[in-house]
Amino acid sequence: MITTRRLVTAALALLAVPAAILAQTGAAQAAAPVPPSTCAGPSAQSGPSALNTAQVASTDVVVKLDTSSGADIGALQDKYQLGVSSAVLASRGIYLVHPADCAGGQAAQRLTADLADDPDVTYAEPDSTVELKASGFSEWSHGKAQPASEADYEFQPAAARLRLGLAHRFSTGRGVTVAVLDTGVDPNQPALAGRLTSGWNYVEDDSDTDDVADAPGSQAVGHGTFVAGLVALAAPGARILPERVLDGAGNGDVFVVAQAILDAVASGADVINLSFGTDKQLSSPVMADVISQATRAGVLVVAAAGNDGDDTPHYPAALPRVLSVAAMDASGHNLARFSDFGSWVDVAAPGQDVVGPVPGGGYATWSGTSMAAPLVAGEAALLLGGPARPDAAHVVNAIEAWHDPLYGGGTAYGAVSPVAALRAQLWR
């Protein structure tokens, strides 16, 4: 559990909800205090809807200082007339800033270009939104939810296809923590009883990570609970760390996700599951940065490849160091028609007509790469918690090396095979 959190005053409507500061670890040092923003109007707003508008993506800029050269945020503020929206990642030289006059998107775009050219800046990018799907979970999942039962969940075809019953004779993932960055998790869902550890709600800045409707058009409610349930199905002995980075409509922003990734690492996560993507297929420097930091810390990051049905790289799945997962169809031999594919996609797992838990104690059937990714995150937990106790790099190698054929291709390696990977680990 994260033990050190500090509230930071937010400047704009989307970040009017204060954020929790990254727990300081290792060589990270506390940054100098940053004056609060003085922007008026929208900055006074607060509440869960603050994360839903497009304003944060059009006015805020993520900037990383070159601290090795002695760069200072105060000097940068003076030079460019910046306001600081959030300094929660200041220990790593990363800030969320905006033009001090609170101007709109064009000013932010110019600011991004100016900062990117500054020798004291490592990178700068507009803060962008992340989402499950613009209109919610119902479209992201490629099909209307169908009621299901607990037996349907436990004995579903996806579990049989992965031979989870046999895999659990080797390992249940005991002692491994999987962080689920999503819409939250229903703590009262029986399928997750005794499996949750304390996480954080980045939408409302509190410790209540429940999966609830808190935004207009909250069609994404249940996504995080469903994803966590598939991790539990694959690795019943693993602990699940819920980090609520998306509201009930499935929307969030890159800066908050970056913060949550580093918080998950600081909280002891061994695996991080990301079943969402960035708007406009954005390849984000700050996302690449924090994922690189996570993997260097020995944490394995898994992400859904996306549901556009083409080979256009989808982020964060297409970033280096991420284990990207496509969805197989109901036959278990081919990719689902909606699944993204290509050389940038590593493996495939069941993703069509998958059964999982939803808030309120029930179960449903959904489809999508969102469903495939947590099954692979669960496989990673099985390997990490297995008798060989390999590190994350060896786990990735095992998942990629020991797989089943995928008719028609579409991924770099094929369909995952947890039993084959576990047996291979035992033979090492």
> CA gyration radius for the chain?
21
Query: Does the bond joining 99 to the residue before it have cis omega, within 30 degrees of 0?
Result: no
Q: 196 pairs with which residues across the strands? A: 240
Q: Using the 8-state DSSP alphabet, how is residue 206 labeled?
A: B
Give the 3-state DSSP-derived string for 133-178, with helices as H, strands as E and coil as C: CCCCHHHHCCCCCEEECHHHHHCCHHHHHCCHHHHHHHCCCCCCEE
Strands 363-366 and 146-148: antiparallel
CA nearest 382: which of 297, 290, 265, 300? 300
Backbone angles phi, psi at 283, to 5 degrees: -95, 100
- For the question of residue 182 being annotated catalytic, the response is yes
Q: 355 pairs with which residues across the strands? A: 365
The answer to whether 343 touches 305, Cβ cutoff 8 Å, is no
Q: Using the 8-state DSSP alphabet, how is residue 62 labeled?
A: E
Which of these is catalytic: 223, 263, 275, 340? 223
CA max distance for the chain: 63
Compute the distance between CA of residue 88 and CA of residue 260 in angstroms, rounded to an integer. 11
- For the question of residue 370 being annotated catalytic, the response is yes
The answer to whether 363 touches 153, Cβ cutoff 8 Å, is yes
Which of these is catalytic: 43, 275, 324, 370? 370
- How many other β-carbons are positioned within 10 Å of the β-carbon of residue 66? 14
Q: Using the 8-state DSSP alphabet, how is residue 22 labeled?
A: P
Which of these is catalytic: 37, 43, 98, 182? 182
Q: What order of strands is seen across the sheet that includes strand 354-357?
A: 146-148, 363-366, 354-357
- For the question of residue 223 being annotated catalytic, the response is yes
Amino acid symbol at 216: P
Compute the distance between CA of residue 367 and CA of residue 381 in angstroms, rounded to an integer. 22
H/E element holding 112?
helix 105-116
H/E element holding 382?
helix 369-384
Amino acid symbol at 56: V
Helix, strand or coil, per DSSP, at residue 239: strand
For the annotated catalytic residues, the residue numbers are 182, 223, 370
